């Protein structure tokens, strides 16, 4: 698919810089991330949570599915309950601001650290401090409130900037002196540059922290979690499916 065709599809979904405020674009440029409240409303959150409960119940019937301490589900593009996430015009506008219209979408996925789990070492999804055009970006959508103790995402602001090479501790529970833990209300999206140092933190609460994660990349850049799209999904989402190919 040509760049112009991808732009046409994204603009049809409402992905326009006009959907962002100057404060939001400045934060993406300077810090490498922004929090967008209200990407999902209460009804959409409830629908997503109900669909996840059903999918996890089905997955538990599969003897090859190993949940572990952090629950994972992939290929949620095939579930209509999640269309509101990857079709969000403001979310897509933030991603386009980072990597441009020539992008593809990876798998719409679910990640939920259970109590005591979820800690990751700080990392970038693409080379930190990349000097060329930014290649990847990510959106994490909160399905519960992200609090300081339930495994909220942490970032190192500015670590995405060209030439920035910031040493990080290898231990997942060691804090970086410049890190920020991002707290937000359910329904919010954290949109961030894939060159930014970030990670999940350990869930110290008594509840599972439910979230969706969508990855984006330029067509030539490596991306994890390429979606497997079912025929029924192709019929449902039409030409938008080309954004996943």
The predicted structure's pLDDT at residue 67: 78
> 3-244, superfamily in CATH?
q2cbj1_9rhob like domain (2.60.120.620)
List, for residues 218-233, the tens digit of each pLDDT value: 988 877 666 789 999 9
The three-state DSSP-derived secondary structure of the chain is CCHHHHHHHHHHCCCCHHHCCHHHHHHHHHCCEEEECCCCCHHHHHHHHHHHHHHHHHHCCCCCCCCCCEEEECCHHHCHHHHHHHCCHHHHHHHHHHHCCCCEEEEEEEEEECCCCCCCCCECCCCCCCCCCCCEEEEEEECCCECCCECCCEECCCCCCCCCCCCCCCCCCCCCCCCEECCECCCCEEEEECCCCEECCCECCCCCCCEEEEEEECCCCCCCCCCCCCHHHHHHHHHHHHHHC
- Give the tens place of pLDDT for each residue, 53-84: 999 999 989 888 877 899 999 999 999 999 99
* Domain layout of the chain by residue ranges: 3-244
pLDDT digit string, tens, across residues 176-189: 999 999 999 999 99
Residue range 95-111, pLDDT digits in tens: 999 999 999 998 899 99
Q: What is the pLDDT of residue 113?
A: 96
pLDDT of residue 164: 85
Kindly report, residue by residue over 197-209, the tens digit of the pLDDT: 999 999 999 999 9
What local confidence, expressed as pLDDT, does residue 107 receive? 83
The pLDDT tens digits for 20-63 are 999 999 999 999 999 999 999 999 999 999 999 999 999 989 88
- Report d(CA 100, CA 94) in Å as an integer: 9
**What average pLDDT does the segment 114-129 reach?**
93
pLDDT digits (tens, 9 = 90+) for 126-167: 888 788 899 999 999 999 999 999 999 999 999 999 988 888
Cα(174)–Cα(168) distance, integer angstroms: 9
Pairs from 165-171 (Cβ < 8 Å, separation ≥ 24): 165/128, 165/129, 166/128, 166/129, 166/197, 168/121, 168/122, 168/123, 168/197, 169/121, 169/122, 170/121, 171/121
Closest CA to 86 of 230, 216, 186: 216
pLDDT of residue 1: 66
Q: What's the pLDDT at 185?
A: 98
């Amino acid at each position: 698919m040509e760049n112009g065709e991808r732009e046409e599809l994204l603009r049809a979904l409402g992905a326009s810089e006009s959907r962002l405020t100057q404060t939001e674009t400045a934060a993406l440029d300077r810090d490498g991330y922004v929090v967008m409240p209200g990407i999902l409303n209460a009804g959409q959150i409830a629908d997503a949570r109900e669909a996840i409960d059903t999918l996890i119940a089905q997955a538990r019937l599969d003897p090859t599915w190993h949940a572990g301490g952090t629950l994972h589900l992939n290929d949620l593009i095939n579930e209509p309950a999640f269309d509101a996430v990857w079709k969000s015009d403001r979310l897509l506008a933030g991603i386009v601001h980072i990597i441009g219209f020539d992008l593809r979408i990876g798998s719409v996925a679910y990640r939920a650290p259970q109590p005591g789990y979820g800690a990751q070492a700080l990392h970038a999804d693409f080379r930190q401090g990349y000097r060329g055009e930014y290649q990847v970006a990510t959106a994490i959508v909160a399905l519960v409130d992200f609090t300081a103790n339930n495994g909220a995402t942490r970032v190192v602001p500015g670590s995405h900037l060209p030439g920035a090479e910031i040493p990080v501790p290898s231990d997942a529970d060691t804090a970086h002196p410049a890190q920020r833990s991002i707290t937000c209300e359910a329904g919010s999206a954290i949109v961030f540059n894939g060159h930014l140092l970030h990670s999940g933190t350990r869930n110290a609460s008594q509840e599972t922290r439910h979230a969706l994660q969508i990855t984006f990349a330029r067509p030539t850049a490596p991306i994890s979690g390429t979606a497997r799209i079912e025929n029924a999904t192709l019929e449902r989402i039409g030409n938008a499916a080309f954004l996943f190919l």
